[in-house]
Structure 1
Amino acid sequence: MAETAVLFALGQVFQFLKEETNLLSGVHRDFSDIKDELESIQVFLKDADRRAADEADTNDGIRTWVKQLREASFRIEDVIDEYLRLTHRANRPRRGSLIFKIASLIKTLTPRHKIALEIQDIKLSIRGIKERSERYSFQTSHEQGSSNSRNSSGESESGRWRDPRMSSLFIEETEIVGLEGPREELFGWLLEGAAKRTVISVVGMGGLGKTTLAKLVYDSQKVTANFDCRACITVSQSYTVRGLLIKMMEQFCQETEEPLLKMLHKMDDMSLVIEVRKYLQHKRYLIFFDDVWQEDFSDQVEFSMPNNNKRSRIIITTRMMHVADFFKKSFLVHVLNMQLLPPNKAWELFCKKAFRFELDGQCPPELQSMSKEIVRKCKQLPLAIVAIGGLFSTKSKTRTEWQKVSQKLNLELGRNAHLSSLTKILSLSYDGLPYYLKPCILYFGIYPQDYSINNKRLTRQWIAEGFIKSDERRTPEEVAEEYLSELIHRSLVQVSIVEGKIQTCQVHDLFQEVFIKKMKDLSFCHCVHDDSESIAVGNTRRLSIATSLNNVLKSTNNSHFHAIHVFEKGGPMENLMDKLCSQPSILKVLDIQGTSLNHIPKNLGSLFHLRYINLSYTNVQTLPKSVGELKNLETLDLRETLVHELPHEINKLEKLRNLLVCHSNYEGNYSLLGTTGGRMQKGIKNMTSLQNLYDVEVDHGGVYLIQEMKMLRQLRRLGLRRVRREHGNALCAAVAEMKHLEHLNICAISEDEILDLNCISSPPQLLRLHLKARLQKLPDWIPELECLVKVRLSFSMLKDNPLQSLKNMPNLVSLCLWDNCYDGEIFHFQNGGFLKLMTLNLRCLNKVNSIVIDHGNLLSLEHLTLEKIPQLKEVPFGIKLMHKLKDIHITDMPAEFVESIDPDKGQDYSIIKHVPLVFIRHSHGPNLFDYDIRTIHSSSKEL
């Protein structure tokens, strides 16, 4: 990752030279020289990185050279950060400004001189590194493109075969487990369907068995008999289209020995394409391109494969959904998304591999519990099961031997020959990433195993680290979302999606093991996730702690860390915070969510470079006034802390983009109005960079505070609490200025407070709207919001049925009607409405006694919740017509309602029996989590 480090350092230097006009004498020239040297090195960094990571390459000098270059890049970042910190200290406005400024300059003179010497030393170091590069004959990007035989052949200079993917092309059909369903689907697409040329894309993460499945089908006798000619070509990351076409023709003609073959190498590119087209024009052909990485591969091969209406087929396997999507521009495309194995198939495959030649392929009883734990560690990934099952097949079938290997399985991944193919195949996904995505994917390794990461938390940390490069057209948040989307489409990241929006993300455990090894090799992060792990961290840039803090505090000097993440709830958090704030630091990210922290040191403002601080779910009660000195802070996350009053100094944070303050009382009777926000002082108008601001208690600052919000024109999300009637006009005027607003949450000061929101002009980009207030009528502007995907209404006491106004909204996917939002008795979902609605949540509707759902309504509904509707005794018959419904959640409904859907004796069970899962929840105590749950499954009786 020297390329990433150098390009990052180059970006820092560019920005530094652009923004710092009053540099110390000579510093500008030195940094310009450093920039020039880095730019000249940049052209061959891809080759340097590739050769340093290549285990078959025995040149340790290259690895040392790459390490030195990476460390020099780190030094550049650090010296820039230190210079900016000293400049900030010297330029801080004080009383008696001139005298104090002179004194401050004198005080910082020695540190500045040290910085100048450090810059000189870096400059000499970079120059020496550049000179040493000449002895390694690195190739430039252009030379690599024209000389790729070594990569594409899969053979090193020593002659050793080292392409771990080749075995997937030679697996016997008898060894296949869990691919029966996908195999039949591929047969159908290959042998049936349209006469036009068709592409079949098999897509998924590395190790799912894409190549194994596709080659199995490709070689099947019933497939071979249906095509006039076939070719199977491994593409990989280094290829030329010319080379692919020649290999294709060689396979087509291998039995005929046509004279054409001898002429192919002499043809120019155009003539070659014409000959391939001519050969295929009147044939039904099948071409299998294995392991495609290039997004525009479709454009590169399209004209070589004529659309001859003879049911010709092209199979591709790829880890990247973008590759499959690109084909849709010119081809009819079928996409098979490969999935992890079901647990029973994972177990079957493991037994087949681990006990292949003994015990009749059956696991002995004494090894069953341990074997199932081993399979669980594989997380249903076929390649992992095959590799690890193969490893255990070589071990004695004793509990002691298996336990010894199982406990050190993570270590075995990096050193055991049986598992080398597994790690190499998974590493290909990382190696194939563009430089700007590599640090982003490595960040997943910072989090503990099985940790479900909030996507906003992750992308905000990327931004704070400087990984995201925005432009004039897009915000950093938009670019970060694109990066995350690209990692998802490359089958590297798994996500949970709610209402069409990514909520959480994580990587497969085995990918995480690969990333952890990469992080260690690249000094990216040191993880202390186990009490037995070493604390010695060298020059690593980040620290991740998921164990006791005591040893870490004693052994760690934090001065060179860019980020610290703590996941352990116990431990002396106050000691860590005191240590962080007591010495010079280049810390940019501090994430201590969910720890036992009780208070913040008064000198928090000493962390000048801090851009992201996450204190959510801690016991912090107040923020020190020095928070106003964190001039670079972009994200301050105080959700579910005890912070209520925000100091006036927070208004000085002009770079702050995310201010998140809210606390929910989950004890006792939970109320929507029970959630508290933050109290802010006048001066909020200065925080013009804010993108997300929630929740603010506006009764504290009144109309004047709301009027100041008119200046926050970059807001994407706004949450306001304790809103009064007299705030209405000011609120409408403020929202009218927020042209980018996507999420608006307004909560009245009490259930009876009537808010007039009719004057709001439709925010054109609004996606989510939550109104918790008494309304005289549903505002006319709401049904006009074409982008709106979610509406939640509470306490509205609407006289007119809101369904009539909302049913034709074109993109509405989620509707929550809560807490007496409707004052009527009948909810009537009329024919043809809510065509895209996927989630419907009806809760605490005291007057509603009937729900009527016409045929042709709610056709897309997948999730239905009915909670605390005391007058509703009958199950809506229209549920029977909802064929896409996946689950129903029934909470504290009348006894008659619940009894009517009992699988054994309920008269309305037939209405809900097609629904895969029905949850019935019954509260039995005063607290939110005092309840029992039972389930009804469509495929069986009650469990």
Structure 2
Amino acid sequence: MAETAVSPLIDRLLHLLTQEAKLLGGIHGEVADIKDELESIQSFLKDADAKAVAEQDIDEGVKTWVKQVREVAFHIDVAIDQYLLQVALHDPHPSGIRGTLQKTTHLLKTIIPRHNFAAKIQEIKASIQKINERSKRYGFQSTAQGSCSGARGISWNNDPRKDTLYLDNADVVGIESSIDELISWLVGGSPHRTVVSVVGMGGLGKTTLTKKVYDNQMVKGHFDCHAWISVSQSYKIEDLLRSIIKQFCEGRKELPSSGIDAMDEQLLVNKLRDYLPQKRYVVVFDDVWKIEFWDSIKHSLPDNQIGGRIIITTRNSEVANYCKKSSHVHVYKLQPLPRDKAWDLFCKRAFQFDFEGHCPANLEKLSHDIVEKCGGLPLAIVAIGGLLSTKEKNMFEWKNLHDSLGFEFGRNPHLSSVNKILSLSFEDLPYNLKSCFLYLGMYPEDYSINCIRLFRQWIAEGFVKEIEGKTLEEVAQEFLIELIHRSLVQVSEVKLDGKVRRCRLHDLLHEIVLQKMKDLSFCHVLSKQESSFEGQVQRMSVNKVSYNVLKGFKDKKIHSLLLFNLDELPKSFMSPFFSNLKFLKVMDFEEAPLDHIPKDVGSLFHLRYLSLRNTKVKKLPKSIGKLQNLETLDLKQTLVSELPIEINKLRKLRHLLAYYHDYGLDFSLASQKGVKIQNGVGRLEELQKLYFVDLNHGGVDLIKDMEKLR
């Protein structure tokens, strides 16, 4: 997790070195040194992340060191923003004598800001060097040196998933029909080798279901050879092949070949291929993470055309699909427990020794709320029910757990297995997808997120990088699809063309994301439960708080601000509010009680995303033309009927969305209104969506102007 603070910053410094080389003047080398130091630190951060995943003890010295790295990364980010605001904002473009004079004037005007930036860079460089030296003094080793081989895995002693192999029948509810269907796929069907893949998010019960199928007497009797292999994130293919051979031999009461422990991968593959021609086999590979796993294993378990079966459990649907390249595949997408089954399982666990297994009337409402929060996840239901079975059966204890569930995941040993299992999927993400995933936590619990809105925010944040031949929006779409395939994001609505329109986080994942955002200083969430904040924070999500709370935003270096469910935002508050947030990149006022945008909006040089959707704003100030970096301007369902001519100065604008639909009218042309726009829109070279324009205002001249758009 710690790496998420540094990796994007290295990208930003590299961009600064290449794009702003002339402006950096004599401190170009200092900035390059900082980038190199951060790259050196990055390998240690990867190691710290890997150790955290493996649940190895991390001493307080390492934790303090990681915290210091995050703090200095924050300071570098702010310094870059200040530099761009004070210096690059005034960089002249004209050429010739006039251009030379302007450049000379510009250099004179920016001597002090340049001097300040140079001093700040020197200070930051000294801090980073101290941090790097401290890492060596603590004896940290980087992953590049091989210090943490296999750290991405979890030892059997600490593996929370082992409990699912030994669940009592009382803890197994609602999977009877699933067991029957999987058994029919194993013992029936084609004689060719077949892969049965059980797919679903962590904690859904994939291992439990598969173990019940694997242990079924019909399955045991049908196959000549059986093997259960736990794969996990870290594995050696030779160890897996040896385990298969040994389990096959043990089940048939045979002795494995002498020297098997010394065989390399090729010899082990040949040994299995020689062993299996006339035998029906079933092999379970539990908890597969990477699609490359199939390439490693497919040749060792041949298609002997007498009914070989391979079962794979995975959180990633792409793992299942990849097997289709060379084998018959059945995919079973395990679903959350329905409400009635979830309730039965909860009562069995929470009241197993009380009230004859039934919930008392005074606890029913809170119990149903707790079960609802589990979202049909058996692991969570069993863990939370087990925890509550140890508590007094009263309203105080039940409400206390309900209100602090997110906090309890991080500290309560009864719930640590849930936290670990759900966190594994997050830790397996590359750093850029980690940032994208964490961003979903800025939306309130149970919020159905508009995917296009999310993509544009990701892009504005810099999470999405250009790929040749694709738009940034197409790359963002691929990011979301990968998060969905990894069972981290749920689809809540699909378009007619099959693309995802809306998505959401599982409630328990949302709780865990909130904790991770806080630990990483990624975002602070202001709500009725927590309406104050202090320290460094890059992003703010505000939900159901009074506007008085927002007054505490003074001098905060916030990148993103998302507002939800506010009651009021008075005009007297908005102007100082804008002037205090000079570093904003994302400002989302969607559905806020807003009818006015102050002229100060033009001072937000870094702003890339501005949404006023579903507000009562009627007019945009002329200063909107100063937002040189604005990429998205969303005015849907506002009362803005005409755009100022200054809008044509926004050369980076990609999405200009402005219309009003009157849902009180039957569908007709009169029910939808576009905006009036001045000629000159053809200068918006990056524009890719313009929605809608009132052609009665611009007519033929406007159409000719729009021909210039690329």
Match of residue 132, structure 1, among 128, 131, 134: 134
Equivalent position amino acid for 2:146 in 1: E
Range moving further from structure 2, 409-418 or 460-469:
409-418
Aligned counterpart, 2:84: 84
* Equivalent residue for 1:263, pick from 259, 281, 286: 259
Structure 1 residues 25-44: Cα deviation after superposition (integer angstroms, max 9, x where no partner): 32111111122222333334
CA distance in structure 1 between the aligned counterparts of 2:364 and 2:258, rounded to whole angstroms:
59
1:280 paired residue number:
276
Task: Give the deviation of 1:262 after TM superposition.
Answer: 4.6
SS in structure 1 opposite 2:501?
strand
The structure whose residues are more often strand, as a share, is: 1
1:522 maps to what in 2?
A: 520
Q: Residue 138 of structure 1 aligns to a residue in which SS?
A: coil
Question: What residue in structure 2 maps to residue 554 of structure 1?
Answer: 551
Q: What TM-score, normalized by structure 1, do the two folds share? A: 0.72
Q: Which amino acid aligns with 2:222?
A: N
CA distance in 1: counterparts of 2:167 and 2:203, whole angstroms: 14
Match of 1:245 in 2: 241
Task: Give the C-alpha shift of residue 579 in structure 1.
Answer: 2.5
Q: Paired residue for 1:505?
A: 503
1:317 match: secondary structure = strand
Distance 2:534 2:299 in 1: 54
Aligned twin of 1:765:
none
What secondary structure does 1:196 align onto? coil
Which residue in the other structure is 2:649 paired with?
652
| Residue identity opposite 1:572 in structure 2 | L
Equivalent in 393, 408, 414 of residue 412 of structure 1: 408
Report what 1:119 is aligned to.
121
Alignment of 1:100-119 (within 5 A): 105-119=107-121
Q: Secondary structure at the match of 1:527?
A: strand
Question: Is 1:460 aligned to 2:456, yes or no?
Answer: yes
481-490 vs 264-273, greater mean Cα deviation: 264-273
Cα pair distance change 1:624/1:153, threshold 3 Å = closer
Task: Pick the aligned partner of 2:443 from 427, 443, 447.
Answer: 447
Q: 1:24 to 1:376 in 2, by over 3 A?
A: closer
Q: Which residue of 2 aligns with 1:619?
A: 616
Using a 3 Å threshold, how does the CA distance of structure 1 residues 513 and 404 change in structure 2: closer, same or farther?
A: closer
| Residue of structure 1 in register with 2:684 after alignment | 687
Distance 1:403 1:548 in 2: 22
What letter is aligned with 1:136? G
1:239-281 Cα distance to aligned partner (Å, 9 max, x none): 1111211222222223677664551221222112111222223
Shift of 1:573: 5.1
Compared with structure 1, are the counterparts of its residues 192 and 54 closer, same or farther at alpha carbon in structure 2 (3 Å cutoff)? closer
Query: In the TM superposition, what is the alpha-carbon distance from 1:369 to its structure 2 partner?
Result: 2.5
Residue in 2 aligned with 1:434?
A: 430
CA distance in 1, matches of 2:620, 2:76: 33
What amino acid maps onto 2:115 in structure 1? H
Shift of 1:557: 2.9
- Return the offset for 1:97: 8.4
1:230 matches 2:236? no
Alpha carbons of 1:142 and 1:323: their partners in 2 closer, same or farther (altered >3 Å)? Answer: farther
1:287 is paired with a residue whose SS is strand
* Partner residue in 2 for 1:569: 566
Deviation at 1:672, TM superposition (A): 4.2
Large movers: runs of 4+ above 6 Å: 96-103
Q: Assess if the C-alpha contact under 8 Å between 1:201 and 1:335 holds in 2.
A: yes
Tell me, yes or no, if structure 1 residue 342 matches structure 2 residue 338: yes
Where in structure 1 are there 5+ consecutive unaligned residues? 156-160, 714-943
2:473 to 474, 477, 481: 477
Match of 1:762 in 2: none
Query: In the TM superposition, what is the alpha-carbon distance from 1:10 to its structure 2 partner?
Result: 1.2
CA-CA distance at 1:323 after TM superposition = 0.4
Secondary structure of the corresponding residue to residue 81 of structure 1: helix
- Measure how far apart 1:685 and its partner are: 0.7
Distance 1:77 1:396 in 2: 49
Determine if contact 1:51/1:62 at 8 Å carries over to the other structure: no
Letter in 2 for 1:502: V
Residues 484, 683 of structure 1: alpha-carbon distance in 2 compared, 3 angstrom cutoff: same
Q: Is the 8 A contact 2:54 2:153 kept in 1?
A: no
Name 1:33's counterpart in structure 2: 33
- What corresponds to 2:146 in structure 1? 143
Query: Corresponding residue for 2:69?
Result: 69
TM-score norm. by structure 2 comes to 0.95
1:154 corresponds in structure 2 to: 155
Determine the C-alpha separation between the residues in 2 that align with 1:378 and 1:559.
36
Alpha-carbon distance in structure 2 between the residues aligned to 1:13 and 1:470: 17
Q: Secondary structure at the match of 2:87?
A: helix
Contact 1:548 1:571 in 2 (8 A): no
Q: Is the 8 A contact 1:233 1:288 kept in 2?
A: yes
Asked whether the equivalents of residues 455 and 473 of structure 2 are also in contact (C-alpha less than 8 Å), the reply is yes
* Alpha carbons of structure 1 residues 99 and 611: separation in structure 2 relative to 1, 3 Å: same
Q: Which residue of 1 aligns with 2:2?
A: 2
Specify the SS of the correspondent of 2:291: coil
1:126 and 1:631 map into 2 onto residues whose CA distance is 32
Percent identical across equivalent pairs?
49
Alignment of 1:750-899 (within 5 A): none
Q: 2-side partners of 1:153 and 1:565: how far apart? A: 37
Mark the CA change 1:52 to 1:222 in structure 2 (over 3 Å): closer, same or farther: closer
CA distance in 1: counterparts of 2:570 and 2:212, whole angstroms: 56
Change (3 A) 1:303 1:173: same
Question: Quick one: which amino acid aligns to residue 419 of structure 2?
Answer: T
CA distance in 1, matches of 2:520, 2:277: 51
Could you say which residue in structure 2 is the equivalent of 1:305? Answer: 301
Q: 1:517 to 1:307 in 2, by over 3 A?
A: same
Which AA in structure 2 matches 1:225? G
- 2:634–2:657 contact (8 Å) kept in structure 1: yes
Return the alpha-carbon distance in structure 2 between the equivalents of residues 126 and 618 of structure 1. Answer: 45
Distance 2:451 2:680 in 1: 31
- Amino acid aligned to 1:210: K
Verify the 8 A CA contact 2:546 2:566 in the aligned structure 1: no
CA distance change for structure 1 residues 74 and 54 in 2, over 3 Å: closer, same or farther? farther
Q: Structure 1, residues 44-81: CA drift from partner, whole Å, max 9, x if none?
A: 43212223566541411112222222222222222222
SS in 2 for 1:512: helix
Q: Confirm or deny: 8 A CA contact 1:536 1:556 kept in the other structure.
A: no
Contact 1:448/1:529 (<8 A) preserved:
no
Rounded Cα–Cα distance in structure 1 between residues aligned with 2:394 and 2:172: 27
Tell me the equivalent position of 1:858.
Answer: none
Report the Cα distance in structure 2 between the residues aligned to 1:403 and 1:546, rounded to whole angstroms: 22
Q: 2:626 corresponds to which residue?
A: 629
* Mapped partners of 2:224, 2:165: distance in 1: 21
Residues in 1 aligned to 2:145 and 2:659: alpha-carbon distance in whole angstroms? 54
Pick one of 574, 577, 596 that aligns with 1:599: 596
> Structure 1 or 2: larger helix share?
2
Q: Is the 8 A contact 2:543 2:563 kept in 1?
A: yes
- Whole-angstrom CA distance in 1 between matches of 2:660 and 2:242: 65
Q: Give the deviation of 1:574 after TM superposition.
A: 3.6
CA contact (8 A) 1:249 1:261 kept: no
The partner residue of 1:641 within 634, 638, 653 is 638
Q: Which residue of 2 aligns with 1:314?
A: 310
Query: 2:369 maps to which residue?
Result: 373
**Cα distance in 2 for residues equivalent to 1:558 and 1:240:** 52
CA distance in 1, matches of 2:572, 2:159: 50
Query: 2:52, 2:610 → 1: CA distance?
Result: 35
Give 1:656's aligned amino acid. L
